[in-house]
Amino acid sequence: MDAIKAVAKEAGYAYVLDVNSLIVAPPADDIIGLVKKKLNIKDPAPAAPAKTTPKTN
């Protein structure tokens, strides 16, 4: 919560709402990336797609 408050203050936001509370919002206003950066949280690397073997009859 402290990180969210700090990011909101630094970015000049008066309000921060949970994304589930919104019907429409511009993606540019999503501060989750800034909060993760402040907390030094890195997104995991995307998983490699699973290899499939073709079926033989």
For range 24-52, the mean pLDDT: 88
DSSP per residue, 20-45? GG-S---GGG--HHHHHHHTT--PPP
Query: What pLDDT is recorded for position 48?
Result: 78
Question: pLDDT band for position 57 (50/70/90)?
Answer: low
- pTM, rounded to two decimals: 0.66
Is the pLDDT at 17 greater than 70? The verdict is yes
Query: What are the residue ranges spanned by the domains of the chain?
Result: 2-38
Please identify which residue in the block is written with the tokens 């000049």: 12
CB of 30 closer than 8 Å to CB of 17: no
CB of 16 closer than 8 Å to CB of 4: yes
CA separation for the pair 43, 41 (Å, rounded): 7
CA separation for the pair 23, 15 (Å, rounded): 16
